[in-house]
């Protein structure tokens, strides 16, 4: 809280509202009493100027292109940390010491198996079901298996549910992929790292041993870290809103998965690679740039632009460097990467993108890497959901522990018909 107020002058009524400052970033105007004192609502479709909560997990400065997780810069975490360590940091607020990290990793490892009955849920889907459709259904179904961790008022149950969700998402995502290609599910292997275990469950087969490629393991670990959390984005806000009614954690995370699926959000990684493939050659880029600028054309450059970043998305920078590294280390080349780099160069020198401050975001280069590793395009958003579960769970825990939080129930500006009487059908 500051000792400053903001005063709103309306017809003959001045109302003052407290200004609250955080540790860094914009102050907020506490308008909780606005309607009571003025009889008016704020109007902010898309929540472009609205803070929905207080949070200590992730800070973004969109103008400077800064992303901090509990104060640690994303590029340092991506380069030096592990996904288990980042998961602990997001959940508990500080980097773990060696004993805390080992204990946390062992706990997560021991929760990676899913109930054997859960495997039958997959049989109900067509083989060509989108992995995100499967993830929505199967993760929501987890609430029918784990009744001992759905009481959100019990901190111990919240912790177990958090561990189960973080641990089981790789298993479920890998099962979704295996089901789509008609191969048998692989059980987790507790001797492997979180990322290595996921790679084995996804690409291994029962008929022969699977050796984790350290290059790919390092790239996937970095990709998971880059996707772990991102402040109050659409899917995190969905998880918070679902949780505000007291819904169980598995249902709330399933709601987050559903929201993430959209092409304006997590679905952009799949859409971006499809777009780059459709462009196909650098000579076709100008036509697509023209389409992106054409108000009458709904086409947008997928993987470009961001609600918050009006500078480079720091994650996109790391992703771009990783794409070069992975292709080089795997001895692969991909003309799509050349198209992506030329598209970025052309767009960032075009006044339309410069004026609107549109830069590549986390989704622009990720597909190139995931494709090089061998994931089908349809799996890209499922991988995003796998990694973002850590952030969703951390935000979910923070929200439940926040004494200021209550059920989310926005109001509206009503523009429909005013009161009128019913007219029987034969008189209309
Ligand atoms: C993610 O919120 C998060 O943090 C999300 C995320 C996370 O980690 O959780 O970072 C992950 O979702 C990244 C974004 C992935 N989506 C895409 O790449 C899809 C393409 N980008 C957009 O559709 C768009 O940029 C959004 C959805 C990302 C942001 O949209 P906004 O903030 O609502 O901005 P807007 O749609 O109002 O656009 C502002 C202007 C518009 O032009 P005008 O109406 O002002 O003339 O910029 C234009 C838009 O037409 N514009 C684009 C564009 N993005 C915005 N024009 C062409 N191509 C684009 N990609």
Query: Of 111, 229, 306, 313, which is the active-site residue?
Result: 306
306 is known as an active-site residue: yes
pLDDT of residue 13: 84
Q: Which residues pair with 58 in a beta bridge?
A: 69
Question: Whose Cα sits closest to atom 13 in ligand 1?
Answer: 265
Question: Whose Cα sits closest to atom 27 in ligand 1?
Answer: 264
Upper half-sphere CA count for residue 57 (Cβ side, 13 Å): 27
Question: Whose Cα sits closest to atom 55 in ligand 1?
Answer: 305
pLDDT of residue 1: 58
What distance in angstroms lies between residue 382's CA and the mean position of ligand 1's atoms? 21
250 close to 165: Cβ distance less than 8 angstroms: yes
Question: Whose Cα sits closest to atom 47 in ligand 1?
Answer: 356
pLDDT of residue 2: 62
Token duo for residue 414: 């009503």
pLDDT of residue 321: 93
What distance in angstroms lies between residue 132's CA and the mean position of ligand 1's atoms? 21
Which mutation among 268, 305, 355 tests ligand 1's pocket best, with the greatest number of atoms within 8 A of CB? Answer: 305
**3-class state of residue 72 by DSSP:** strand
| pTM of the model as a whole | 0.96
Question: Whose Cα sits closest to atom 24 in ligand 1?
Answer: 305
Match 């109007």 to its residue by tokens: 43
pLDDT of residue 58: 98
Token duo for residue 303: 């993987």
**3-class state of residue 312 by DSSP:** coil
What distance in angstroms lies between residue 258's CA and the mean position of ligand 1's atoms? 19
What distance in angstroms lies between residue 212's CA and the mean position of ligand 1's atoms? 36
368 close to 229: Cβ distance less than 8 angstroms: no
Which mutation among 306, 308, 347, 366 tests ligand 1's pocket best, with the greatest number of atoms within 8 A of CB? Answer: 306
- Ligand 1: which residues within 6 Å by Cβ? 46, 230, 233, 264-266, 268, 292, 300-308, 356, 358, 361-363
The dihedral built from the CA positions of residue 268, 273, 274 and 276, taken in this order, carries a sign that is positive
What distance in angstroms lies between residue 288's CA and the mean position of ligand 1's atoms? 16
pLDDT per residue as tens, the chain (428 positions): 566 899 999 887 899 999 999 999 999 999 999 999 999 999 999 999 999 999 999 999 999 999 999 999 999 999 999 999 999 999 999 999 999 999 999 999 999 999 999 999 999 999 999 999 999 999 999 999 988 888 888 999 999 999 999 999 999 999 999 999 999 999 999 999 999 999 999 999 999 999 999 999 999 999 999 999 999 999 999 999 999 999 999 999 999 999 999 999 999 999 999 999 999 999 999 999 999 999 999 999 999 999 999 999 999 999 999 999 999 999 998 999 999 999 999 999 999 999 999 999 999 999 999 999 999 999 999 999 999 999 999 999 999 999 999 999 999 999 999 999 999 999 99
Length in residues, the chain: 428
pLDDT of residue 416: 97
What distance in angstroms lies between residue 306's CA and the mean position of ligand 1's atoms? 5
61 is known as an active-site residue: no
């Amino acid at each position: 809280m500051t000792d400053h107020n903001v005063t709103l002058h309306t017809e003959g009524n001045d109302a003052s509202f407290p200004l609250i400052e955080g540790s860094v970033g914009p102050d907020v105007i506490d308008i909780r009493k606005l309607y009571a004192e003025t009889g008016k609502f704020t109007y902010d479709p898309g929540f472009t100027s609205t803070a929905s909560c207080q949070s200590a997990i992730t800070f973004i400065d969109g103008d400077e292109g800064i992303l901090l997780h509990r104060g640690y810069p994303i590029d340092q975490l991506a380069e030096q940390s592990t996904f288990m360590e980042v998961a602990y940091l997001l959940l508990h607020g500080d980097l773990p010491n060696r004993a805390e990290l080992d204990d946390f990793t062992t706990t997560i490892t021991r929760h990676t198996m899913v109930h054997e009955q859960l495997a039958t849920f997959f049989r109900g889907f067509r083989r060509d079901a989108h992995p995100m459709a499967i993830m929505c259904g199967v993760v929501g179904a987890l609430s029918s298996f784990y009744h001992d961790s759905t009481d959100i008022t019990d901190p111990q149950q919240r912790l177990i549910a958090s561990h189960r969700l973080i641990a089981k998402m790789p298993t479920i995502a890998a099962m979704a992929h295996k089901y789509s290609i008609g191969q048998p599910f692989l059980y987790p292997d507790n001797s492997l790292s979180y990322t290595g275990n996921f790679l084995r469950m996804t690409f291994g087969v029962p008929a022969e041993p699977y050796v984790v490629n350290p290059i790919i393991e390092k790239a996937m670990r970095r990709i998971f870290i880059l996707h772990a959390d991102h402040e109050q984005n659409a899917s995190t806000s969905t998880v918070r809103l679902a949780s505000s009614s007291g819904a169980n954690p598995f249902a709330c995370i399933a709601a987050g998965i559903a929201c993430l699926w959209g092409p304006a959000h997590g679905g952009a990684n799949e859409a971006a690679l499809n777009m780059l493939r459709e462009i196909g050659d650098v000579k076709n880029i100008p036509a697509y740039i023209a389409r992106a600028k054409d108000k009458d054309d709904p086409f947008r450059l997928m993987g470009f632009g961001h609600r918050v970043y009006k500078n480079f998305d720091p994650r996109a920078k790391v992703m771009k460097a990783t794409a070069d590294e992975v292709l080089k280390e795997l001895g692969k080349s991909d003309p799509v990467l050349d198209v992506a780099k030329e598209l970025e160069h052309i767009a960032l020198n075009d006044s339309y993108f410069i004026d609107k401050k549109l830069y590549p975001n986390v989704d622009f280069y990720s597909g190139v890497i995931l494709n090089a590793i061998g994931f089908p395009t349809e799996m890209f958003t499922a991988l995003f959901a796998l990694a973002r579960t850590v952030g969703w769970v951390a935000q979910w825990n923070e929200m439940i522990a926040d004494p200021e939080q209550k059920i989310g129930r926005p109001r509206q500006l009503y523009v429909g018909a005013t009161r009128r009487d019913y007219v029987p059908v034969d008189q209309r």
